[in-house]
Amino acid sequence: MSAFLKSKCSSVGRGMMGSLGNNLYGGATSSIETVARTSRSDAVCQQIRTFIQMRTNLKVVDNSEAKQVMCIQSHRGKKGARLRDMIIGSVKEAQPRGKVKKEDVVYGVVVRAAMKKGRKDGIEVQFDDNAIVIMNNKGELIGTRVFGPVPHELRKKKHLKILALAEHIV
């Protein structure tokens, strides 16, 4: 690691020194810009994972015939919802003759979140997408099947019915 940093710094130093001999200002600024561009491109490549907040689109992973839901409000607080939190959402895409219609307001439990969630044993759980299971206002599931992996942290919030219907528990 130190060799990589050393070789990287020495090549930048040589580039700056070589261009300083020809043009005092132009060469130095161009090499500094090159260094800044590489650091900016590294920052752009890393995607920042945040809370599920208002206007976040979520995938629906049960058979309630809804495909996509937009978060209206999270029950967690100002920051937003995380794994196993309840949200209120508006259905954006749905199948035509389903149990849930387009533009219905529904409750849901976040079963997959792109933000990391640490466990006590040191493992961090992170999924590729944000997904929910739709419920009614009484807390009963609308669908009868849950697709994809579901974390076992749902057991702490008493969502045992979701765990019982899930294909795979992570």
Kindly indicate the confidence band of residue 23, based on its pLDDT and cuts at 50, 70 and 90.
Answer: very low
Confidence of residue 142 (pLDDT cuts 50, 70, 90): very high
Above 60 in pLDDT, residue 61? Answer: yes
Question: What integer pLDDT is reported at residue 94 of this predicted model?
Answer: 95
* Torsion angles phi and psi, residue 16, rounded to 5: -70, -40
The whole-number average pLDDT for the span 69-86 is: 87
Q: Model confidence at 101, in pLDDT bands (50, 70, 90)?
A: very high
Four-residue CA torsion sign, 137, 142, 144, 147: negative
Buried b (16+ CB within 10 A) or exposed e, 106-135: bbbbbbbbbbeeeeeeeeebebeebbbbbb
For CATH 2.40.150.20, the residue range(s) in the chain are 57-169
Residue 102 CB contacts under 8 Å (≥ 6 apart), including other chains: 91, 92, 93, 94
57-169 CATH choice from 3.40.50.880, 3.30.420.40, 2.40.150.20, 2.60.40.1120? 2.40.150.20
Give the pLDDT score at 166: 92
pLDDT band at residue 46, thresholds of 50, 70 and 90?
low
